[in-house]
Structure 1
């Protein structure tokens, strides 16, 4: 189970500001944009390990940095349910600057493989 980032070194940028202009970017502040994503490593995270199941759709989630990856946490249980793909690594700088993110689980399934998809937006 590898990462589903773009496969470019830019996924691992060391820039300290997520809104720095690079290449052909539009100049929009990525930190303030909502997004949807399928989570990675769902069966290896605490929620699945503790429940042998995935959280249901419509559960509320938050986004955090756990020291190594950007993770999504189920609000009800407090457990990590999966990781965001590396293309969202810019969120680390956004979180460090004081922006928080929350959202909901839009779909979840245990078969054929445990999977969870989320809609996330910055908190105002």
Structure 2
């Protein structure tokens, strides 16, 4: 938005979940603990897979451990400090607010419980 004006024709803004609205550090740290692997090992391997353009889910096979059955939930402490205010500011400009991402089941309820109130939430499991 330039000079506080919404560009002509813009009707909605959609935000990604991970590393846009949500700092996933605590979630990945807890996932490593649940899998019984050192958190820095998990993070290094994830980074290497992503850098090489490979599927990040291969991390479990390479580490030789099963994927933890349940992902740690998103909590209000995981939201970036400006996340909720940004969503509210976009809505104050008369725009629809959406959140979308490649996230596990239950993300809609978790984001709403954490304080996000968009017009819609979509995930890869929705």
TM-score, with length taken from structure 2: 0.33
> Which structure would you say has the larger Rg?
2
More strand by share: 1
